[in-house]
Structure 1
Amino acid sequence: MPVRLFFRPTLLAALLTSASLPLAANAQDSGPQLSFGLTTFADVPTSGDTDDDALYNWRVDIKLNYAEIWSGGSITGHFEYNDGDGYVGLGEGGLVWPTNTFATLPSVTSDNDTTLSLSLTQQFNNTTSVSFGKFNVIDLAEATPLVGGQGQGGFQYLGIGAPGNFVLPPYIFGGMLTVSYAPMIYTLMIYDANNAQGEDFWDDLFDEGVVYNGTATYTTQINGMPGFYSFNIAHSTKKGTDYESLLLDPSDDAFMSTKDGVNYTGVSFQQYLWSDPQNPMVGWGVFGQIGYGDGNPNPLDEMFLLGIGGNSPLYGRQSDRWGLAWSKYNWSDKLGEALGAYGVKLQDESAVEAFYEAALTENWRLGGNVMWVKPSFESYDDYTQVGFRIRATF
């Protein structure tokens, strides 16, 4: 029988599907709950084709959860602001994925440095809930128990901490249905295909496509330790560039034409190897993910992720977080062929990152990380970075 740590179907779905409420884990008491966070980052490139100057960034996060506004009804909100020197990635240094996700969003995907995510959840009974609104996908990935650290410290490289699949923008607007029948949890999300930011977003809602994203999660125990095993399939109706058309003569009418539909299928797991008998969600274990894109128009053929981490096993340091992970993104062969025709040599992007974040007090945390990334473009040298962060939460 699954352990009784599965407080609510909405909570577990939020932790495991990267498609639910970032603050669901805090929604235990009725009434408003407000938290304020301030984080500063110092990232120092030590090798690679970038400037070797340190990058200093900071961000503010204000989170609100108001549970039981009415019977089964709750509201979740997250205001974000970030500023600083920027990041490496999205082409810089030959990397696709940013090396500091939290220094990248929300500014990189909108015209300003702020954004507000707001969603409403209705819990109908112990098995079924519906959520609707704007969701922060990075929050959702960060909320997972092992790879994301449940918001208590995690990986900074986006390709590990919040694995991309090109059918899940950083911010999404839509709804989610969660149905739980132990040992299974099913979720179905339907949302706009575009990133949910900017003034024009509201005017063009669902004009360019819709995404259907479903996940089935099997919850179990192995030697008494919690385990979560998920299967995810997503389809976007949004049009994307047909990479084969880029090989045509520019005078051809089909040059740079589009292709309907972007698809992704993946399996993932998080398995505890040790957990606290009094609180099974405190512990450490292994996690992994394998994903498959359609390669055209999805720029992804396959992605792989494998790691270990969680709460510190050191005596008296269970509030600390640590992790070590490897990821690899095999870009579309068809995209590589198209870019090669223009002299751009595309290769798979792989990375290794390790981090440790210590709880100095109840409100203050200090962390450090080191990463190595093999860039997506062959003309760039391998990139390494050392980073430090300090976080205050009230």
Structure 2
Amino acid sequence: MGGERRKSEKARLRKGINILISTPGRLVDHIKSTKNIHFRRIRWLILDEADRILDLGFEKDITVILNAINAECQKRQNVLLSATLTEGVTRLADISLLNPLRISVLDGHRGKSDPKGRAVPEASPLPAGGEPDSFAIPESLDQHVTLVPSKLRLVSLAAFILQQCKFEKDQKMIVFFSSCELVEFHYHLFLQTLQSRSGAPASGQLPSASTSLKFLRLHGNMEQEERTAVFQEFSHSKTGVLLCTDVAARGLDLPQVTWIVQYNAPPSPAEYIHRIGRTARIGCHGSSLLILAPSEAEYVNSLASHKINVSEIKMEDILSVLTRDDCFKGSRWGSQSHPVNGLLSILEVRQATAGFPERGSPPGPE
């Protein structure tokens, strides 16, 4: 429940349900206004994305929900799930859980294993809150960083997308931006420059772009129906590039994502973990790339202080992919000096036409 008409939700409640999945605010609405909602037979109460629930200010709503359920049902199993264990999450655990145990899903080399070699969750008393010193990161996730001057950020991103999604098979990529405006700008820019179309290429379009290169976008300014359609399309696609804000950083299971690219550094190591958590899921292999300006190099040390280690990919190695594409060679598309200028000139023309600054744009909602 949530994001739909209340009337249709009430109709489903009247018919009876086995599993209810709801946003906190909408459930509180039904508790206050829907007479036929009862909690007498609840056996499980699961609070997912607990840290995000607190970030969005739903602590009072959770209290209302807990009071309503406790009034009708005392015997049940409560579960609180969170990727990070902060002071707020611990406080929420105190009011929602009785004598809780922490179950930590660790890497195979850190935890115990069953006879088949799979990692076994480790149970321990729930500790006091605070920013965690380290995070559980899958062994199958390779983390990378590249330092790129401001002038070459856009062309480096475009080259990396070409490198992974044009010259490699079965690649599925998510690119995170800091605002809805940045998502929209890059989405339309790449549609015009990187995505191939049938027939002769238009002015400013790359003639040899792969027909399998597909771009989608996802952010908070889109209508719910459109977001759902994008989610379904990307979930069922074997390849593609999803440009998005942090609206896609949590709570979405997007199968077979092979690369996570962070074009703008996240505000905290916890947010970094949430973003890269969209790949290397359920034993699959995945990779991530963090794009930083030279002045942001200290961010790598911030990650290292939380035992998040990233290896560097040289910008030159990313840009070298342009030498493999004929459309950046010769006098028409490329420069006589270097093929990087071929893509750079095309992107700069489109960027100037769009009238959108590459850096320093104001942040918007997710």
- Bigger share in helix: 2
* Structure with more relative contact order (C-alpha pairs < 8 Å, separation 6 or more): 2
- Bigger share in strand: 1
Question: TM-score, structure 1 length as denominator?
Answer: 0.22
The structure with more radius of gyration: 2
Question: TM-score, structure 2 length as denominator?
Answer: 0.23
